Amino acid sequence: MRKRWLAGLLHALVVWSLTEAQIRYTIPEELSEGTVVGNIAKDLDLKLSEVSERNLRLASESGERYFGVDSAKGELVVRARLDRETLCGQSATCLLPLEAIVENPLQLYRVEIEIQDINDNSPAFQNNAKVLNIAESTAPGARFRLEAAQDPDVGSNSLRTYTLSKNEHFALDIITEKDGTKVPQLILEKSLDREKQPTLSLLLIALDGGKPAGTGTAEISVHILDINDNSPVFEKAQYDAQIPENIATGAVVVSVKALDKDEGANSEVLYSFAPHTTDLINSIFSIDSLTGDIKVNSKLDYETGSSFKFDVIAADKGVPPMEGLCSVHLEVLDINDNAPEIVLKSSPSPVREDAPVGTVVALISARDLDTGENGKVRLTLLPGVPFTLKPSIPNHYTLTTERTLDREAHSVYAVVVVASDSGSPPLSSQQEVLVSVVDVNDNPPVFTQPFYTVYVKENSAAGSILCSVSALDPDQGQNAKVLYSVLESRVLDSPLSSYVYINSENGSIFSMSSFDYEKMKVLKVQVQARDQGSPSLSSNTMVHVFIVDQNDNAPAVIYPSAALGSVSHQRMPRSAKAGHLVTKVTAVDADSGHNAWISYRLAEATDASLFGVSFHTGEVRTKRSVSEQDDSSQRLLIEIRDNGEPAQSSTVTVEVLIEDGFHEPVSESRQKSPELNKRSGRITLYLIVALASVSSLCLMTFFILLVKCARGSRGGSSCCIRRSDSGYKTPNRNLQIQLNTDGPIKYVEVLGGDVMSQSQSFGSYLSPMSEFSDFTLVKPSSTTDFTDTLNVLDASLPDSTWTFECQQVRESQHLDFV
Ligand SMILES: *[C@@H]1O[C@H](CO)[C@@H](O)[C@H](O)[C@H]1NC(C)=O
């Protein structure tokens, strides 16, 4: 601009004659368009009309751009914005030269316009957000040069000073350099601590000298750079944690945390166990160096380690690193993780079944690895066994018997011992203890039957098995081994052992001889079973061997006596009428029962029409009157048969001699006969009366009957008195008194069952009144008196209980003639 202006000036000087007149206008910058600078026409001494006539105009380029001439008024006016700072920069004065030209005559005038500065610019910082990094260790007094602010205004409007916002650490110093530039400087007055205040924000204000003063601000961020001046510090000096012993492997037990107030690497903390940490802790625990988590690596066991103490170091990454230390105290909590254990101090000893209550069977102890309540163990038994646990010294028990034992009921006990601790929840365990009961010979052998009854036929072969007895012994082994024996006694003057033999092992009884019913009706064998215990126990039983009668005896003829010869001779008068009793055949049969029932039959006769034989009584009577024609000698063959199966028989031959004029002795008998019949009838009546009331007055009736019988009356009924004990204990006390008769009482048979008088029978047979009497003395007896017999019996059985029975043994029989 100035060059152009100078070129224009030179041109004017060269082409135009220049007037000396110099006009200067002084205007402030930044005038608005149209502002009048001055009346140039007047100042050039031109008339107002001349302005247009002579074409007053501005010649210079710059003059034309910024100014113009108002031809009507002759005034110089501003045409464009005038910025002094643009036109003149930092020059202290700003002159804008103009050339004004008029024609006719052509004249050139120089006009100078001085543009004065106004404070139209404020100071400004090129970078109004400044970051300043200062290490926190910087000593006070240190200076930090800042950027100077710029103000294009000049003079008093230019930058004058700076101010700094209020702060603790920095002061402001303004240095004026040689060229006059004013430079602000920060002076550290108080040392910085990043850890307290990592950044500072300062406001630097630049002020110019204008009125009012323009300002420019810059924000200064002071970043305090960290120095590793802080060691890591743990949140706690000691970490306490309680961990259950069953904590899972890998679980975090405790987390330690250390903080470092420094920054960056200086605050980055790495955790580790202190160097002096034991190998055990190193093996059980590990620490995460970054997070500080302490984990368990292996299973914990309260029982081997209940607490752990170690130190943890936190080191930062600064150079040199700084360290902090804390201690960790871990307490392991007991968990009820150990079941109680049952320990048998000795294997249980077998206990005798007769052991007294309280006998010690076994010693049992209990243990639990846990502590406290978890380790408190109580032992109990499952119920149902005759044992009890008695505590002795702590945690020790004795297993003792609580009741008496019986091996036969229970030979071995499975005693279940239960141990439970007091933990929550409690743990328990159990163990079975087998206690065997040792047998004691406390049971005698017991026969399977209270007594044995055997029927054996007489005459059967010796050596045959009679019966087998058997006794059981619930004991064990030798105590249960039973041997059988026969208790010796004498039977019919021979030792019992000559009759029977017993197999001692299996109790089979064999006969040693054949038996004869006629000699012995029952054989009583007392058998003993004895176990082999020590001492041994035994029990007895009775075997009744009843000998069963066989028809092994033929009837024996007693009268007429066959011994005199094979033929018996009888005499009778020829005058005999029908029904004359010739003789009476009497026979006995040694057998009993049916085998002894005897019947008579006329087998052969010289004249069968003359004689008849009573089937039951054996009386031989005439069937008709004897006539003169009848042979004087008559032979009769009479057969006597028993009722056995097969029947046995014998015969007797009777020779009857019929005599003329034979004195008949029968009259007595005939006279007697009605009397006898009368008596007999009376007794029968008594009997009927007696039997009618037998159910209630049996005893009385019996004695009445007995008295009547004893008075010599021979009745036609039979009476029986039987005495028996109801118990088994004295089976031998079995007495039978039999008034046995066919019709009239023939004999009294007393069957005694005493051991000593085994098979003895008392017989009292009533002697026949005469040869014609109904009664025959069968066998001579010690006593003929019936009452005497009874007295003897009664005396021999003093403690006996008598029951009396009266009955008609056989249906009353009548004499019947065949
Ligand atoms: C007992 O033993 C004898 C001889 O060995 C034998 O004959 C008999 O049959 C046995 N008895 C039993 C009941 O086994």
pLDDT for 563? 56
Q: Which atom of ligand 1 is nearest the CA belonging to 468? A: 13
pLDDT for 546? 93
C-alpha 459 – ligand 1 centre gap (Å): 22
Q: Which backbone phi and psi does 4 adopt, to 5 degrees?
A: -60, -45
Could you report the per-residue pLDDT of 36-53, keeping only the tens digit for each? 888 888 888 888 888 888
For residues 698 and 687, give the distance between their C-alpha atoms in angstroms, rounded to a whole number.
Answer: 11
Q: Are 82 and 117 in contact (CB under 8 A)?
A: no
Sorted by sequence, the CB contacts under 8 Å of residue 287 that are 6+ apart come out as 256, 271, 272, 273, 293, 294, 295, 312
C-alpha 510 – ligand 1 centre gap (Å): 10
Q: Which atom of ligand 1 is nearest the CA belonging to 470? A: 13
Question: Ligand 1: which residue has its CA nearest to atom 9?
Answer: 508
Question: Ligand 1: which residue has its CA nearest to atom 6?
Answer: 508
Residue 633, classified by CB atoms within 10 Å of its CB into exposed (0-12), middle (13-18) or buried (19+), is exposed
Mean pLDDT for the stretch of residues 326-331: 93
Quickly list DSSP for 439-494: P-S----EESSSEEEEEEETTPPTT-EEEE--EE--S-GGGG-EEEEEPP-EETTE
What average pLDDT does the structure give for the chain? 79
Q: Is the CB of 503 under 6 A from ligand 1?
A: yes
Mean pLDDT for the stretch of residues 498-514: 93
Does residue 106 have a pLDDT over 60?
yes
Q: Is the CB of 506 under 6 A from ligand 1?
A: yes
Residue 772 banded pLDDT, cuts 50, 70, 90:
very low
Does residue 171 have a pLDDT over 50?
yes
Tokens, residue 305: 């380690």
Does residue 537 have a pLDDT over 90?
yes
* Topology of domain 556-662, CATH: Immunoglobulin-like (2.60.40)
pLDDT for 685? 62
C-alpha 506 – ligand 1 centre gap (Å): 6
Question: Ligand 1: which residue has its CA nearest to atom 14?
Answer: 506
DSSP state of 781: -
Of residues 211 and 637, which shows the higher confidence score? Answer: 637
Quickly list DSSP for 386-439: SEEEEE-STTEEEEEE-S---TTT-SEEEEEEEEEESSSS--EEEEEEEEEEEP
Mean pLDDT for the stretch of residues 89-116: 84
C-alpha 495 – ligand 1 centre gap (Å): 23
Could you report the per-residue pLDDT of 471-497, keeping only the tens digit for each? 999 999 999 999 999 999 998 889 999
Does residue 512 have a pLDDT over 50?
yes
pLDDT for 680? 57
Of residues 806 and 460, which shows the higher confidence score? Answer: 460
Q: Is the CB of 306 under 6 A from ligand 1?
A: no
C-alpha 514 – ligand 1 centre gap (Å): 20
Question: Ligand 1: which residue has its CA nearest to atom 4?
Answer: 503
Q: For 2-116, give the CATH class.
A: mainly beta
Number of Cβ atoms within 10 Å of the Cβ of 449:
12
- Among 502, 503, 504, 511, residue to substitute to test ligand 1 (most atoms within 8 Å of Cβ): 503
Q: Out of 107-111, 179-183, 597-601, 697-701, pick the least confident.
A: 697-701
pLDDT for 16? 44
Q: Are strands 598-605 and 567-573 parallel, antiparallel or unpaired?
A: unpaired
* Topology of domain 341-438, CATH: Immunoglobulin-like (2.60.40)
Task: Report the percentage of the chain scoring pLDDT > 90.
Answer: 35
Q: Is the CB of 464 under 6 A from ligand 1?
A: no
Of residues 561 and 745, which shows the higher confidence score? Answer: 561
Of residues 225 and 679, which shows the higher confidence score? Answer: 225
C-alpha 408 – ligand 1 centre gap (Å): 28
Which pTM was predicted? Answer: 0.47
- Among 465, 484, 508, 543, residue to substitute to test ligand 1 (most atoms within 8 Å of Cβ): 508
For residues 550 and 516, give the distance between their C-alpha atoms in angstroms, rounded to a whole number.
Answer: 9
Of residues 777 and 89, which shows the higher confidence score? Answer: 89
Q: Do domains 2-116 and 446-548 have the same CATH topology?
A: yes
C-alpha 537 – ligand 1 centre gap (Å): 24
Mean pLDDT for the stretch of residues 277-295: 93
C-alpha 465 – ligand 1 centre gap (Å): 9
pLDDT for 525? 94
pLDDT for 417? 94
Residue 718 banded pLDDT, cuts 50, 70, 90:
very low
Give the CATH architecture of domain 233-333. Answer: Sandwich (2.60)
Please say whether the structural domain 129-225 has been given the CATH code 1.10.645.10: no
pLDDT for 8? 47
Q: Is the CB of 468 under 6 A from ligand 1?
A: yes
Question: Ligand 1: which residue has its CA nearest to atom 11?
Answer: 508
Q: Is the CB of 508 under 6 A from ligand 1?
A: yes
Q: Which backbone phi and psi does 492 adopt, to 5 degrees?
A: 50, 45
Collapse the DSSP code of 12 into the 3-class scheme (helix H, G, I; strand E, B; otherwise coil) and give the result: helix
Residue 73 banded pLDDT, cuts 50, 70, 90:
confident
pLDDT for 94? 86
Write down the domain spans for the chain: 2-116, 129-225, 233-333, 341-438, 446-548, 556-662, 675-807
Domain 446-548 carries which CATH code? 2.60.40.60
